[in-house]
Structure 1
Amino acid sequence: MEPLTNWAGNITFSARGLLRPRSIDELRKIVATGTALRVLGSGHSFNRLADTTGDLVSLADLPRTVEIAPDRATVRVDGGIRYGELAVRLHEAGLALHNMASLPHISVAGAVATATHGSGVRHGNLATAVSGVELIRADGEQVTLKRGDDDFDGAVASLGALGVVTALTLDVEPAFELRQYVYEGLPATSVREDLGEILADGYSVSLFTRWTGPGVDQVWLKRAEPMTGDTYFGARLADGPRHPVPGMPAENCTGQGGVPGPWHERLPHFRMEFTPSSGAELQSEWHVPRARAREAIEAVSTLGERVSAVLQVCEMRTIAADDLWLSPNYRQDSLALHFTWIADTAAVLPVVADLEALLVPLGARPHWGKIFTMDAPAAFPRFAGFAALVARYDPTGKFRNDFLSFLR
């Protein structure tokens, strides 16, 4: 196989081959006869979570499935579909997902497996929309789990360790419109005194900063109601479209300026037809209890110059608590601190370690698809239960790799 890398290019996969089945029967045979397998989604992980010395399996060639239930409360989708594709199909049917990530380019199954998220104090991560999981276990047998089943909460955000997810059933709701506003120069006093109000003042709220000063560079508000006035808690309304990463073209981003638009053209930051974020980058993210959000922000600010030296931008967002065992939001409302780094692993890793030294004592949990050095299992209260679940579904370790060695 020609060398294959992840989206960012910082990981070259060790796989001996890339398999692209065109049917579920073909996929079941691959799983039943394989010895070491990992599923490759859209490649938006920044560590070796998806790596294997065996075969990578892509579900991109499986038939696309978008089956809306008769009651229009759920949709069943295949394991290879991406959010951007699904969102258009749903919107055409007058339906919506409750949230989306910053970019619509990612696969639904991959985002769910790593508990990837959007933003909003009332909204759980993307995995919380799942009401049904269909997967192929290591023995080639197909299993269906539904919300309320004993194994369900451990099987949704599963890191791909239980088998190959062939389909997911997601909760949907009626389509809606949002407006997006960008404000610049949020003062430090507003961050200290009004953080909770700001983070709750919209359907989705993001704060962007480079930690070069005491305040926040940009506030992105996504909300149904129009804003009035040119200032917001001391920040000023941007005089045109903005990109969160300094120097990047704003045309890559979704519509701003308060112009109403469909949910799937406002909830992501980046448009499907453009390269998301900056492209040449690394990423890390930690989730801290929302009750300790101010402490976390103050802690990171003490490393301001050290962080900004290797940083493109940092985004802060909120996610509601859930009951999924490997979710960073397991039973805690969270503030996520997401760091988009320069593409220099050697320079970034020491800063990652310094940040973890400050954030782990505050209860930080890492995003499974990003770069981290901390003891991740220790941060998840239900990890032992998940490891036992993996042992039942994949007793020989067919879907494990060096990244998941803590499951052995």
Structure 2
Amino acid sequence: MSTNWAGNVTYRAARLHEPRTLDELRAVVAAAPSIRALGSRHTFNAIADADEQVSVRGLPADVVLDEDAVTFNAGLTYGELAQQLDGRALHNLGSLPHITVAGAIATATHGSGTGNLATAVRALELVTSTGELVTARRGDPDFDGMVVHLGRLGVLTRLTLDTEPFYEVGQRVFEGLSWDALLEHFDAILSATYSVSVFTRWDAVDMVWLKARGTPPETLYDARPATVDRHPIIELDPVNCTAQLGRPGPWWDRLPHFRMGFTPSHGAEIQAEYVLPREHAVHAIQALRALTVPHLLVSEIRTISADALWMSTAYERDSVAFHFTFERVPIEGVLRDVEAALAPFEPRPHPGKAHLQPGTYPRADDFARLAERLDPRGAFRVTEPR
């Protein structure tokens, strides 16, 4: 039996299918009583688990570039896709270029400020539980419900993403920002550049990472610029992190926190994340600062633009995300305290990360009806992630 990336979840799946053709994939899916797609395993709950699993990474990459879009095998990682864009760029990347595009899209994984990664989807193709190949494009009636599909509609096989002209990004880290400055100027700080991450362990603001299209600013209120590269977990060697100190570089080598080709992040960890309306950010920070949060390696605060995708954590609300990286130990009690502290602020947990309580989504009933229609056998709806 296999495990997820962090080793905190052992999959019950008795078999992992790795088809090499679309027809093979369709046959596998149609025959399986219970099945889920498996990507880079960078999830921290059972969202990718079922009696059987299937990976589309064995299908041809078949990258097709158009003037302002790219179409490709959804099982590619962002790092693999970035290398084939030939002078084009994506609007955003997550912290890790190692994750599959399909997995990031399915769970509304985000970058910072410019909208979650799924907002770039222009068209998609998936195989339903009857083996049917279904396609949808932006503007189609069900499209906004199909993009962030949580693995419950089918197996995503191909995607078309918006692209834009190539751009460079400069990254600078600031240290020692006071809580007073962060709370008083929260909106200005989190909007200071194209992407902003605040790292903390709730006793102090450890770092603020600014990623700018062009040159990042050299001052940030009462913080001081770091004089060496940093890792988000401040005690760790930054050798695997993307270059800082304001040095410009290609978008794909600055927007992520971690470099391609290296082991990302801490490894033996469990991640959780909660997304709230942005207007609650300051009060949520104050609530979290009042907690004792054991086993915490680091927290990250970022913002996300509102979108129209039914099951997105940022659906119809500009949002702030509170991310937690914990040691790989039992954390149910910690999550219970964190969720209780955030409960007044309408939190929506990242569906691929550890959590206890689900969020509230205005289009959840519409999504359930869409799942019943696209998955009449219930083959993708047997596992509720926690």
State the Cα distance separating 1:326 from its structure 2 match. 0.4
Match 2:84 to one of 89, 92, 96: 89
Q: Does 1:209 align with 2:200?
A: yes
For residues 245 and 195 of structure 1, the distance between their equivalents in structure 2, rounded to whole angstroms, comes to 22
Total equivalences in the alignment = 386
For residues 256 and 138 of structure 2, the distance between their equivalents in structure 1, rounded to whole angstroms, comes to 27
Q: How does 1:4-403 map to 2 (within 5 A)?
A: 4-52=2-50, 54-69=51-66, 72-90=67-85, 93-120=86-113, 123-213=114-204, 216-227=205-216, 229=218, 231-303=219-291, 306-307=292-293, 309-345=294-330, 348-376=331-359, 379-403=360-384
CA contact (8 A) 1:51 1:401 kept: no
Secondary structure of the equivalent of 1:372? coil
State the Cα distance separating 1:360 from its structure 2 match. 2.1
For residues 284 and 235 of structure 1, the distance between their equivalents in structure 2, rounded to whole angstroms, comes to 27
For residues 320 and 55 of structure 2, the distance between their equivalents in structure 1, rounded to whole angstroms, comes to 32
For residues 124 and 211 of structure 2, the distance between their equivalents in structure 1, rounded to whole angstroms, comes to 30
CA contact (8 A) 2:210 2:216 kept: no
For residues 352 and 246 of structure 1, the distance between their equivalents in structure 2, rounded to whole angstroms, comes to 23
Secondary structure of the equivalent of 2:24? helix
For residues 312 and 213 of structure 2, the distance between their equivalents in structure 1, rounded to whole angstroms, comes to 28
Residues 299-358 of structure 1 show CA distances to partners (whole Å, capped at 9, x for unaligned) of 11110xx21x2100000001100000100000000000000011002xx21111111112
For residues 69 and 216 of structure 2, the distance between their equivalents in structure 1, rounded to whole angstroms, comes to 32
CA contact (8 A) 1:132 1:145 kept: yes
Secondary structure of the equivalent of 2:176? strand
Moved over 2 A (4+): 224-229
For residues 399 and 225 of structure 1, the distance between their equivalents in structure 2, rounded to whole angstroms, comes to 44
CA contact (8 A) 1:37 1:399 kept: yes
C-alpha distance 29-296 of structure 1, shift in aligned 2 (>3 A)? same
State the Cα distance separating 1:49 from its structure 2 match. 0.4
CA contact (8 A) 1:323 1:331 kept: yes
State the Cα distance separating 1:402 from its structure 2 match. 2.8
For residues 175 and 136 of structure 2, the distance between their equivalents in structure 1, rounded to whole angstroms, comes to 45
Residues 139-178 of structure 1 show CA distances to partners (whole Å, capped at 9, x for unaligned) of 1110110111111011000011111111011000001001
Gaps of 5+ in 2: none
CA contact (8 A) 2:348 2:358 kept: no
For residues 192 and 111 of structure 1, the distance between their equivalents in structure 2, rounded to whole angstroms, comes to 30
RMSD: 1.2
State the Cα distance separating 1:404 from its structure 2 match. 5.5
Secondary structure of the equivalent of 2:98? coil
How does the TM-score come out when normalised to structure 1? 0.93
C-alpha distance 383-233 of structure 1, shift in aligned 2 (>3 A)? same
Whichever residue aligns with residue 57 of structure 1, its letter is V
For residues 133 and 8 of structure 2, the distance between their equivalents in structure 1, rounded to whole angstroms, comes to 34
Secondary structure of the equivalent of 1:186? coil
CA contact (8 A) 2:124 2:156 kept: yes
CA contact (8 A) 2:29 2:127 kept: yes
CA contact (8 A) 2:102 2:156 kept: yes
CA contact (8 A) 2:193 2:216 kept: no
CA contact (8 A) 1:82 1:108 kept: yes
For residues 227 and 386 of structure 1, the distance between their equivalents in structure 2, rounded to whole angstroms, comes to 41
For residues 237 and 42 of structure 2, the distance between their equivalents in structure 1, rounded to whole angstroms, comes to 21
Residue range with higher mean Cα deviation, 260-269 or 245-254:
245-254
Secondary structure of the equivalent of 1:232? coil
State the Cα distance separating 1:228 from its structure 2 match. 5.5
State the Cα distance separating 1:65 from its structure 2 match. 2.2
State the Cα distance separating 1:210 from its structure 2 match. 0.8
Whichever residue aligns with residue 96 of structure 2, its letter is L
CA contact (8 A) 2:36 2:49 kept: yes
For residues 202 and 404 of structure 1, the distance between their equivalents in structure 2, rounded to whole angstroms, comes to 34
State the Cα distance separating 1:58 from its structure 2 match. 1.1
State the Cα distance separating 1:138 from its structure 2 match. 1.0
Secondary structure of the equivalent of 2:370? helix
For residues 2 and 381 of structure 2, the distance between their equivalents in structure 1, rounded to whole angstroms, comes to 19
Gaps of 5+ in 1: none
State the Cα distance separating 1:247 from its structure 2 match. 2.0
C-alpha distance 321-228 of structure 1, shift in aligned 2 (>3 A)? closer
